[in-house]
Amino acid sequence: MDHCCDLVPSYLYKLNPADETDLNPQEIEKLEGDDLKPLPVGEMGHLKNWVHFAPTLLKEGRVKRKEIEEEDDAKKEQLEKERSLQDPLEPRLKPINRDQSSSQ
Domain contains 104: no
Domain contains 1: no
Domain contains 62: yes
Instruction: Provide the domain count of the chain.
Output: 1
Domain contains 2: no
Of 13, 102, 100, the residue nearest 51 (C-alpha) = 13
What's the pLDDT at 102? 54
Domain contains 76: yes
- Does residue 46 sit in helix, strand or coil? coil
Structural domain including 86 reads 7-98
Distance CA 96, CA 98 (A): 5
What's the pLDDT at 64? 84
What's the pLDDT at 44? 94
Domain contains 85: yes
Low-confidence spans in the chain with pLDDT less than 70: 1-3, 101-104
What's the pLDDT at 101? 66
